[in-house]
Homo-oligomer: A and B are copies of this chain.
Amino acid sequence: MDIVHTVAELRARLKKEACIGFVPTMGSLHPGHLELMRIARDQVDKIAGANGCIVVSIFVNRLQFGPNEDFGKYPRTLADDCEKCRAAGVDVVFAPDESEMYPEPQTYVVEPLEIQHILEGAVRPGHYRGVATVVLKLFNMVQPHVAVFGKKDYQQCRVLDNMVRQLNLPVEMLLAETVRADDGLALSSRNGYLTATERAEAPQLNAALREIVVELRSGNRDYMALEAKAQATLSVRGWRPDYITIRRQLDLLPPIVGDRALVVLAAARIGATRLIDNLEVSL
């Protein structure tokens, strides 16, 4: 496995590769990320036989953090992450520093005009502009055939999948199912912020989503009542929900009559930590 830190090294290393699978990360890798790497490997092997090349980028992207968010304390564990990548059969780790990604102030950005202002975008202004811009830059650096993202960050998946389509990027997007702990908690680098008590409570976020899905499957279409009940349940338990909401999968707008491909999304704070989760449901 090669570890490269500059765009020039990266391009030289990838010049002869026939088929590149790419997993962009912010590091602090957990089994959810390893699953994305496995999916990338499967897909490039399907396309190019055993000649595929898996690239993982590790870069904590300041551009997608708000001024009051956890950019400074976001976990940085590069040596450990590289060991996990090596064990997972990754070919190239690209770990640029900030001056390599942003050698000058970034004055050219991708604006996802609509979807960036709702849900996570409403709570985190500028977040999806930062995500879309860094992923476009990374795509241009790596030039992957296949890129894999986890549905844990559901709105991010939609933002990026729509970006690829609307900007005609020559990349196949694979969106992977969320990997969970046995008790249902979605794996996340931010779970490391939780105290033992909070960790024991954390699966209740997923439990609230599952309860809504059961109701939807049983025919209940009173979305507002379902959302309000889940919010109340979590609030009573000490959570501070930002949103718990039922949306259409494709554009994350409220469903209209006849919509059958739905997703239930939640973001809530427990103690000092903000967790997100979601469940797709096709009726």
Question: Are B110 and A109 in contact, with the CB atoms below 8 A?
Answer: yes
Chain B interface: which of A164-172, A176-184, A205-213? Answer: A164-172
A169 to B136, CA, bound (A): 9
Count the A residues whose beta carbon is within 8 Å of the partner chain — how many?
27
A67 to B167, CA, bound (A): 23
Using a CB–CB cutoff of 8 Å, the interface residues on chain A facing chain B are: 7, 11, 104, 106-115, 132-133, 136-137, 140-141, 143, 162-163, 166-170
- A110-B110, A136-B167, A140-B167 are known contacts; what are 19 more A-B pairs with Cβ within 8 Å? A7-B168, A11-B170, A107-B112, A107-B114, A107-B115, A107-B162, A107-B166, A108-B111, A108-B112, A108-B113, A108-B132, A108-B162, A108-B163, A108-B167, A110-B111, A111-B111, A133-B167, A137-B167, A140-B170
Residues on B with beta carbons closer than 8 Å to the beta carbon of A115: 107
Residues on B with beta carbons closer than 8 Å to the beta carbon of A143: 170
Q: List 21 A-B contacts (CB under 8 A).
A: A7-B168, A107-B112, A107-B113, A107-B114, A107-B115, A107-B162, A107-B166, A108-B110, A108-B111, A108-B112, A108-B113, A108-B132, A108-B163, A108-B166, A109-B113, A110-B111, A133-B167, A137-B167, A140-B168, A140-B169, A143-B170
